[in-house]
Amino acid sequence: MSNDQSPNVPSERARREAVREKAQQVKARQTRARIARRSVVGILGVAVVAAGAVGVTWAVSSDGSRSQALPEAANDGFVVTAATGVADPMVDQSVEGNAATPAATPAAEAAATETPAAATPAPTGTAAPVDIRVYVDYLSAEAKEFQSANADQLSKWVAEDAASLTYYPVAMLTSKSNGTKYSLRAASAAACVATHDPDDFFSFNHELLMKQPAVDSDGYNDEELADLAQGAGASPDVRSCIEDETFTSWAKAATDRAIKGLPDTDGETLSGTPTVFVNGTKYVGALSDPKEFAQFVLTLDSNAYYTSTPTPTATAVPSSTPAP
Protein backbone atom coordinates (compact mmCIF):
# COMPACT_ATOMS: atom_id res chain seq x y z
CA MET A 1 0.00 0.00 0.00
CA SER A 2 1.49 3.21 -1.04
CA ASN A 3 1.38 6.47 0.98
CA ASP A 4 0.89 9.64 -1.24
CA GLN A 5 2.63 12.64 0.47
CA SER A 6 2.48 15.13 -2.52
CA PRO A 7 1.43 18.72 -1.68
CA ASN A 8 -1.99 20.08 -2.55
CA VAL A 9 -0.92 22.15 -5.53
CA PRO A 10 -4.25 23.77 -6.41
CA SER A 11 -4.79 24.84 -2.81
CA GLU A 12 -1.34 26.49 -2.57
CA ARG A 13 -1.86 28.31 -5.87
CA ALA A 14 -5.20 29.65 -4.67
CA ARG A 15 -3.63 31.06 -1.55
CA ARG A 16 -0.93 32.84 -3.56
CA GLU A 17 -3.50 34.33 -5.90
CA ALA A 18 -5.61 35.47 -2.96
CA VAL A 19 -2.56 37.18 -1.40
CA ARG A 20 -1.66 38.77 -4.72
CA GLU A 21 -5.20 40.04 -5.22
CA LYS A 22 -5.26 41.49 -1.73
CA ALA A 23 -1.95 43.21 -2.35
CA GLN A 24 -3.29 44.66 -5.56
CA GLN A 25 -6.36 45.96 -3.72
CA VAL A 26 -4.16 47.58 -1.06
CA LYS A 27 -1.99 49.13 -3.78
CA ALA A 28 -5.06 50.41 -5.60
CA ARG A 29 -6.38 51.99 -2.42
CA GLN A 30 -3.00 53.63 -1.76
CA THR A 31 -2.90 54.90 -5.34
CA ARG A 32 -6.39 56.38 -5.04
CA ALA A 33 -5.47 57.99 -1.70
CA ARG A 34 -2.29 59.43 -3.22
CA ILE A 35 -4.24 60.84 -6.17
CA ALA A 36 -6.83 62.29 -3.78
CA ARG A 37 -4.12 63.94 -1.68
CA ARG A 38 -2.50 65.41 -4.76
CA SER A 39 -5.86 66.71 -5.90
CA VAL A 40 -6.53 68.32 -2.54
CA VAL A 41 -3.08 69.87 -2.48
CA GLY A 42 -3.59 71.14 -6.03
CA ILE A 43 -6.96 72.62 -5.17
CA LEU A 44 -5.54 74.25 -2.05
CA GLY A 45 -2.64 75.61 -4.08
CA VAL A 46 -4.99 77.12 -6.63
CA ALA A 47 -7.08 78.57 -3.81
CA VAL A 48 -4.01 80.10 -2.18
CA VAL A 49 -2.84 81.58 -5.48
CA ALA A 50 -6.32 82.91 -6.15
CA ALA A 51 -6.53 84.41 -2.67
CA GLY A 52 -3.11 85.98 -3.14
CA ALA A 53 -4.16 87.39 -6.48
CA VAL A 54 -7.29 88.82 -4.92
CA GLY A 55 -5.23 90.32 -2.09
CA VAL A 56 -2.74 91.86 -4.49
CA THR A 57 -5.55 93.18 -6.67
CA TRP A 58 -7.28 94.66 -3.63
CA ALA A 59 -4.05 96.22 -2.38
CA VAL A 60 -3.22 97.65 -5.78
CA SER A 61 -6.74 98.95 -6.32
CA SER A 62 -6.79 100.31 -2.76
CA ASP A 63 -3.47 102.10 -3.26
CA GLY A 64 -4.64 103.26 -6.67
CA SER A 65 -7.88 104.68 -5.33
CA ARG A 66 -5.96 106.27 -2.46
CA SER A 67 -3.42 107.86 -4.80
CA GLN A 68 -6.22 109.26 -6.93
CA ALA A 69 -8.24 110.61 -3.98
CA LEU A 70 -8.22 114.40 -3.88
CA PRO A 71 -9.71 116.58 -1.14
CA GLU A 72 -11.86 119.61 -1.82
CA ALA A 73 -9.01 122.09 -1.74
CA ALA A 74 -8.13 125.24 -3.66
CA ASN A 75 -4.43 125.26 -4.60
CA ASP A 76 -3.95 122.67 -1.82
CA GLY A 77 -5.46 124.97 0.80
CA PHE A 78 -8.63 124.87 2.91
CA VAL A 79 -10.57 128.07 3.51
CA VAL A 80 -11.95 128.41 7.03
CA THR A 81 -15.73 128.62 6.73
CA ALA A 82 -16.52 128.72 10.44
CA ALA A 83 -13.99 129.79 13.06
CA THR A 84 -15.58 128.01 16.01
CA GLY A 85 -14.35 125.70 18.73
CA VAL A 86 -11.48 127.90 19.92
CA ALA A 87 -12.94 130.87 21.77
CA ASP A 88 -15.91 133.18 21.54
CA PRO A 89 -14.83 135.35 18.60
CA MET A 90 -17.04 138.21 19.78
CA VAL A 91 -15.36 138.50 23.18
CA ASP A 92 -12.78 141.27 23.31
CA GLN A 93 -9.35 139.71 23.90
CA SER A 94 -7.55 143.05 24.22
CA VAL A 95 -4.14 143.27 25.84
CA GLU A 96 -3.89 145.95 28.46
CA GLY A 97 -1.68 148.84 27.51
CA ASN A 98 -1.68 148.06 23.78
CA ALA A 99 -3.40 150.31 21.29
CA ALA A 100 -3.76 147.51 18.72
CA THR A 101 -5.69 144.67 20.41
CA PRO A 102 -5.30 141.05 19.24
CA ALA A 103 -9.06 140.59 18.99
CA ALA A 104 -9.78 143.75 17.07
CA THR A 105 -10.47 143.56 13.36
CA PRO A 106 -7.89 145.13 11.04
CA ALA A 107 -10.34 147.81 9.89
CA ALA A 108 -11.28 148.62 13.48
CA GLU A 109 -7.63 148.96 14.40
CA ALA A 110 -7.06 151.29 11.50
CA ALA A 111 -9.93 153.47 12.63
CA ALA A 112 -8.40 153.71 16.10
CA THR A 113 -4.91 154.61 14.90
CA GLU A 114 -3.87 158.11 15.82
CA THR A 115 -3.23 160.41 12.89
CA PRO A 116 -1.75 163.87 12.60
CA ALA A 117 -4.12 166.72 13.31
CA ALA A 118 -3.52 168.07 9.84
CA ALA A 119 -5.13 165.01 8.19
CA THR A 120 -8.42 163.29 8.93
CA PRO A 121 -8.45 159.66 7.69
CA ALA A 122 -11.67 158.58 6.02
CA PRO A 123 -12.34 155.15 4.44
CA THR A 124 -12.97 155.19 0.73
CA GLY A 125 -14.85 152.43 -1.12
CA THR A 126 -15.31 148.80 -0.19
CA ALA A 127 -12.49 146.26 -0.62
CA ALA A 128 -12.22 142.51 -0.11
CA PRO A 129 -11.30 141.09 3.30
CA VAL A 130 -7.61 140.76 4.05
CA ASP A 131 -6.23 137.45 2.74
CA ILE A 132 -4.32 135.36 5.33
CA ARG A 133 -2.68 132.08 4.32
CA VAL A 134 -0.92 129.72 6.73
CA TYR A 135 1.25 126.74 5.71
CA VAL A 136 1.28 124.35 8.65
CA ASP A 137 2.96 121.07 9.60
CA TYR A 138 1.15 119.53 12.57
CA LEU A 139 4.42 118.36 14.11
CA SER A 140 6.01 121.82 13.96
CA ALA A 141 6.48 123.46 17.37
CA GLU A 142 6.64 126.88 15.68
CA ALA A 143 3.29 126.26 13.97
CA LYS A 144 1.80 125.46 17.37
CA GLU A 145 3.32 128.66 18.76
CA PHE A 146 1.76 130.80 16.04
CA GLN A 147 -1.66 129.16 16.37
CA SER A 148 -1.66 129.46 20.15
CA ALA A 149 -0.84 133.17 19.99
CA ASN A 150 -3.19 134.13 17.16
CA ALA A 151 -6.17 131.75 17.23
CA ASP A 152 -8.45 134.16 19.10
CA GLN A 153 -7.91 137.12 16.82
CA LEU A 154 -7.98 134.97 13.67
CA SER A 155 -11.34 133.52 14.69
CA LYS A 156 -12.76 136.97 15.33
CA TRP A 157 -11.54 138.38 12.03
CA VAL A 158 -13.14 135.47 10.18
CA ALA A 159 -16.38 135.76 12.16
CA GLU A 160 -16.63 139.46 11.28
CA ASP A 161 -15.72 138.88 7.61
CA ALA A 162 -12.67 141.07 8.06
CA ALA A 163 -10.31 138.32 6.86
CA SER A 164 -10.25 135.29 4.62
CA LEU A 165 -8.22 132.57 6.37
CA THR A 166 -6.76 129.56 4.53
CA TYR A 167 -4.65 126.75 5.97
CA TYR A 168 -2.32 124.60 3.85
CA PRO A 169 -1.47 121.30 5.63
CA VAL A 170 1.97 120.02 4.62
CA ALA A 171 4.19 117.15 5.76
CA MET A 172 7.76 118.40 5.99
CA LEU A 173 8.51 116.51 9.23
CA THR A 174 7.30 113.09 8.09
CA SER A 175 10.62 111.46 9.05
CA LYS A 176 10.46 112.82 12.63
CA SER A 177 8.01 110.30 14.11
CA ASN A 178 9.80 106.95 14.46
CA GLY A 179 8.63 105.72 11.08
CA THR A 180 4.89 106.30 11.67
CA LYS A 181 4.80 109.22 9.20
CA TYR A 182 2.73 111.27 11.63
CA SER A 183 3.00 114.57 9.74
CA LEU A 184 1.72 112.93 6.58
CA ARG A 185 -1.16 111.18 8.33
CA ALA A 186 -2.12 114.31 10.28
CA ALA A 187 -2.21 116.36 7.07
CA SER A 188 -4.39 113.67 5.49
CA ALA A 189 -6.69 113.72 8.53
CA ALA A 190 -7.01 117.51 8.29
CA ALA A 191 -7.93 117.15 4.62
CA CYS A 192 -10.59 114.57 5.57
CA VAL A 193 -12.26 116.97 8.00
CA ALA A 194 -11.96 119.93 5.62
CA THR A 195 -13.58 117.90 2.85
CA HIS A 196 -16.36 116.15 4.76
CA ASP A 197 -17.01 118.59 7.63
CA PRO A 198 -15.59 121.98 6.55
CA ASP A 199 -17.24 123.91 9.40
CA ASP A 200 -15.25 121.82 11.90
CA PHE A 201 -11.91 122.19 10.13
CA PHE A 202 -10.73 125.26 12.10
CA SER A 203 -11.49 123.52 15.39
CA PHE A 204 -9.73 120.29 14.35
CA ASN A 205 -6.75 122.21 12.97
CA HIS A 206 -6.49 123.96 16.34
CA GLU A 207 -6.76 120.65 18.25
CA LEU A 208 -4.02 119.03 16.18
CA LEU A 209 -1.67 121.89 17.02
CA MET A 210 -2.60 122.39 20.67
CA LYS A 211 -2.36 118.63 21.38
CA GLN A 212 0.73 118.23 19.26
CA PRO A 213 2.90 115.17 20.00
CA ALA A 214 6.62 115.59 20.56
CA VAL A 215 9.06 115.43 17.69
CA ASP A 216 10.67 111.97 17.35
CA SER A 217 7.71 110.32 19.08
CA ASP A 218 5.23 107.98 17.38
CA GLY A 219 2.48 110.60 17.43
CA TYR A 220 -1.20 109.62 17.31
CA ASN A 221 -2.30 106.55 15.40
CA ASP A 222 -5.13 106.82 12.87
CA GLU A 223 -7.80 105.76 15.35
CA GLU A 224 -6.65 108.43 17.80
CA LEU A 225 -6.64 111.05 15.04
CA ALA A 226 -10.23 110.08 14.22
CA ASP A 227 -11.11 110.42 17.92
CA LEU A 228 -9.61 113.92 17.94
CA ALA A 229 -11.64 114.83 14.87
CA GLN A 230 -14.89 113.69 16.45
CA GLY A 231 -13.95 115.49 19.66
CA ALA A 232 -13.58 118.65 17.59
CA GLY A 233 -17.11 118.19 16.25
CA ALA A 234 -16.58 116.15 13.08
CA SER A 235 -19.22 113.59 12.16
CA PRO A 236 -18.63 109.82 12.46
CA ASP A 237 -18.46 109.64 8.64
CA VAL A 238 -15.04 111.26 8.68
CA ARG A 239 -13.55 108.37 10.68
CA SER A 240 -13.18 105.98 7.75
CA CYS A 241 -11.49 108.70 5.69
CA ILE A 242 -8.90 109.24 8.44
CA GLU A 243 -8.36 105.58 9.32
CA ASP A 244 -8.01 104.64 5.63
CA GLU A 245 -5.42 107.43 5.18
CA THR A 246 -7.38 108.49 2.13
CA PHE A 247 -5.46 111.67 1.37
CA THR A 248 -1.87 110.71 2.30
CA SER A 249 -0.78 110.59 -1.35
CA TRP A 250 -2.30 114.03 -1.90
CA ALA A 251 -0.58 115.40 1.22
CA LYS A 252 2.81 114.21 0.00
CA ALA A 253 2.22 115.66 -3.47
CA ALA A 254 0.98 118.96 -2.00
CA THR A 255 4.12 119.22 0.13
CA ASP A 256 6.33 118.59 -2.89
CA ARG A 257 4.47 121.28 -4.85
CA ALA A 258 4.88 123.80 -2.02
CA ILE A 259 8.62 123.11 -1.76
CA LYS A 260 8.97 123.81 -5.47
CA GLY A 261 6.95 127.02 -5.38
CA LEU A 262 4.03 128.72 -3.63
CA PRO A 263 1.12 130.04 -5.71
CA ASP A 264 0.37 133.75 -5.84
CA THR A 265 3.75 134.75 -4.41
CA ASP A 266 6.77 136.41 -5.93
CA GLY A 267 8.78 133.21 -6.39
CA GLU A 268 8.49 132.09 -2.77
CA THR A 269 9.09 128.43 -1.86
CA LEU A 270 8.25 126.54 1.31
CA SER A 271 11.30 126.00 3.51
CA GLY A 272 9.66 125.64 6.93
CA THR A 273 6.44 126.02 8.86
CA PRO A 274 4.57 128.00 9.72
CA THR A 275 4.88 130.17 6.65
CA VAL A 276 2.32 132.96 6.75
CA PHE A 277 1.28 135.36 4.00
CA VAL A 278 -0.97 138.40 4.33
CA ASN A 279 -2.21 139.71 0.98
CA GLY A 280 0.71 137.89 -0.64
CA THR A 281 3.37 139.39 1.66
CA LYS A 282 5.32 137.00 3.89
CA TYR A 283 5.17 137.60 7.64
CA VAL A 284 8.64 137.55 9.19
CA GLY A 285 7.79 138.87 12.66
CA ALA A 286 7.56 137.11 16.02
CA LEU A 287 5.33 134.05 15.87
CA SER A 288 4.34 134.31 19.52
CA ASP A 289 3.43 138.01 19.48
CA PRO A 290 -0.22 138.55 18.46
CA LYS A 291 0.21 142.32 18.68
CA GLU A 292 3.00 142.33 16.12
CA PHE A 293 1.04 140.10 13.78
CA ALA A 294 -2.09 142.25 14.19
CA GLN A 295 -0.08 145.35 13.30
CA PHE A 296 1.32 143.56 10.24
CA VAL A 297 -2.20 142.65 9.13
CA LEU A 298 -3.34 146.22 9.77
CA THR A 299 -0.58 147.56 7.58
CA LEU A 300 -1.59 145.34 4.67
CA ASP A 301 -5.34 145.39 5.24
CA SER A 302 -7.05 145.83 1.90
CA ASN A 303 -9.90 147.63 3.62
CA ALA A 304 -7.72 150.36 5.10
CA TYR A 305 -7.50 152.83 2.25
CA TYR A 306 -7.81 156.38 3.34
CA THR A 307 -7.69 159.86 1.86
CA SER A 308 -6.22 162.80 3.67
CA THR A 309 -8.37 165.84 4.09
CA PRO A 310 -6.16 168.90 4.38
CA THR A 311 -6.71 171.12 7.39
CA PRO A 312 -8.64 174.19 6.27
CA THR A 313 -6.44 177.27 6.04
CA ALA A 314 -7.61 180.60 7.37
CA THR A 315 -8.72 183.12 4.76
CA ALA A 316 -7.63 186.68 5.44
CA VAL A 317 -10.61 188.98 5.73
CA PRO A 318 -9.75 192.62 5.01
CA SER A 319 -10.33 194.83 8.01
CA SER A 320 -12.84 197.57 7.67
CA THR A 321 -11.11 200.84 6.70
CA PRO A 322 -12.74 204.07 7.83
CA ALA A 323 -13.70 206.30 5.02
CA PRO A 324 -11.48 209.26 4.65
Predicted confidence band at 278 (pLDDT cuts at 50, 70, 90)?
Answer: very high
Q: Cis (ω within 30 of 0) for the bond into 123?
A: no
The per-residue pLDDT for 237 is: 87
**Greater model confidence, 50 or 13:** 13
* Domain range annotation of the chain: 16-68, 71-306
Q: Among 112-116, 142-146, 232-236, which range has the highest average pLDDT? A: 142-146
Q: Where are the alpha helices (DSSP H) in the chain?
A: 9-68, 106-112, 141-159, 182-196, 201-210, 222-231, 238-243, 248-260, 290-300
Q: Looking at the predicted structure, is the pLDDT value of residue 47 above 60?
A: no
Q: How far apart are CA 290 and CA 76, in angstroms?
A: 26
Whether the Cβ atoms of residue 103 and residue 156 lie closer than 8 Å to each other: yes
Mean of per-residue pLDDT scores for the chain: 77
Instruction: Please tell me whether residue 90 adopts helix, strand or coil conformation.
Output: coil
Q: Is the pTM of this model over 0.85?
A: no
Q: Among 1-15, 178-192, 231-245, 291-305, which range has the highest average pLDDT? A: 178-192
Torsion of CA 137, 141, 146, 151, to 10 degrees: 80
Strand partners, 131: 164
Average pLDDT over residues 267-271: 94
**Greater model confidence, 208 or 43:** 208
The per-residue pLDDT for 320 is: 46
- Which residue from 140, 208, 210, 209 is spatially nearest to 172, judged by alpha carbons? 140
- Fold for 71-306, please state it: Glutaredoxin (3.40.30)
Predicted confidence band at 51 (pLDDT cuts at 50, 70, 90)?
Answer: very low
